[in-house]
Homo-oligomer: A and B are copies of this chain.
Amino acid sequence: MTLPAYGERSPMTLSSPLNLAVVGLGRMGKLYAQTVATRVSGASLYAVADPNPAAVAAIRDQHHVPVTATDARDLFTRPDIHAILIATPTSTHADLVIAAAQAGKAIFSEKPLALTIPETRAAIAAVERTGVPLQVGFNRRYDAAYLKAKAFIDEGRIGRPVTVKSVGRDPFCPRAEFADPAKSGGLIIDMGIHDFDVSRWLMGSEVERISAEGTLAVCDTLAAVGDIDNALVNLRFANGGLGNVEVSRHAFYGYDIRTEILGSAGGINIGGYQHLPVLLLTRDGAQHDVLPYLMERFGPAYQAQIQAFVDGVREDKPVSPGGADALAALEIGVAATLSAREGRPVTLAELR
């Protein structure tokens, strides 16, 4: 099969909006569809696809979507669709990326590209062969706080980064079916992949060695699927820098995402607990609420990453983070999972 060169597709100019197809209308897909339809400029929610016709119809009616399908691949052949946003279950990401790349579409894929290194490499290879833009949904890179921290580092405000530490705690034990490592990659990959990505990004260096400890302490239902609910992952970077990532399934007090960087001349702490600016003062002391869920913290970042993708594609500029970032974060996750299981340090060189 001869692939069309990207430039041969329906001409795209800055004056016309990007016709975007959202593939997969589960919780994240619905959110992306709404984001594209109402909060992104320069793109229209032109098509949606999901095996569930009712889900398709609901989004179609709500957002006046002109094109729909129950099989995503039916959309890929349409020349009037410029870009595919993949929000399907993780196990299907790689195949859809490959198919969309072969169809010459610009691609935004939710993280991760795949749960295994070979599948991830295959998807990246397809994208490289066809030259289509690929952006991966590491939304924290578009969070205003993380961007500000990155800018501080790039400006030299803390000198050279020396140690990066990241904490990711979800508010509730997941249902075992979602946490099943066969589907999620397991705790360390499923949750830690964001932390591994921002750690590389903020440190400006690649991880070389990983030592992890994990435990199953609270979420008993995970025993059935063979997973853990807490892990601590030490990282050694090529530049001599150090890192630690903590992931936990059960911070019942809220959604707790923090990252700190210690540099040679100062430090940066990203994250905080309080959600609403209300302090209650009583004989029991002071009380305030805590950030409850993902979207209260990263809703704007989800929007910003799609806007950046749309802008990049329309202006024919590189989009980021891309396939290499997806691979690098996954490799750390795979190595950390192995380290926790075997009780020994794992180098990324071993995996290659």
Interface presence of A6 (CB below 8 A)? no
Given contacts A162-B230, A217-B160, A232-B242, contact A287 B289 (CB under 8 A): no
A:231-268 near B, CB below 8 Å: 231-232, 234-236, 240-244, 246, 248, 250-254, 256, 262, 264-268
Q: Are A152 and B280 in contact (CB under 8 A)?
A: yes
**Chain B, Cβ-Cβ closest to A274:** B286
Q: Are A242 and B271 in contact (CB under 8 A)?
A: no
Query: What's the nearest-Cβ distance from chain B to residue A301, in Å?
Result: 12
Interface presence of A14 (CB below 8 A)? no
- Tell me the complex Cα distance, A57–B54, Å: 36
Q: Are A162 and B217 in contact (CB under 8 A)?
A: yes
- Tell me the complex Cα distance, A189–B319, Å: 46
Interface presence of A61 (CB below 8 A)? no
Q: Which residues of B contact A290 (CB under 8 A)?
A: 281, 285-286
Q: Are A282 and B262 in contact (CB under 8 A)?
A: no
**Chain B, Cβ-Cβ closest to A272:** B277
| Copies of this chain held together in the complex | 4
How many A residues touch the partner, as a band?
A: 35 or more
Interface presence of A3 (CB below 8 A)? no
**Chain B, Cβ-Cβ closest to A218:** B264
- Tell me the complex Cα distance, A287–B209, Å: 34
Q: Which residues of B contact A273 (CB under 8 A)?
A: 279, 281, 286
- Tell me the complex Cα distance, A148–B235, Å: 32
Interface presence of A213 (CB below 8 A)? yes
Q: List 29 A-B contacts (CB under 8 A).
A: A38-B39, A144-B276, A145-B276, A160-B217, A211-B213, A211-B234, A214-B242, A215-B236, A215-B241, A217-B241, A218-B264, A230-B242, A231-B242, A234-B234, A248-B262, A252-B282, A253-B266, A253-B281, A253-B286, A254-B281, A265-B282, A265-B283, A267-B281, A273-B281, A274-B286, A285-B287, A285-B288, A285-B289, A345-B345
Chain A residues packing against B (C-beta within 8 Å):
38-39, 144-145, 148-149, 152, 157-160, 162-163, 165, 169, 209, 211-218, 230-232, 234-236, 240-244, 246, 248, 250-254, 256, 262, 264-274, 276-290, 343-345
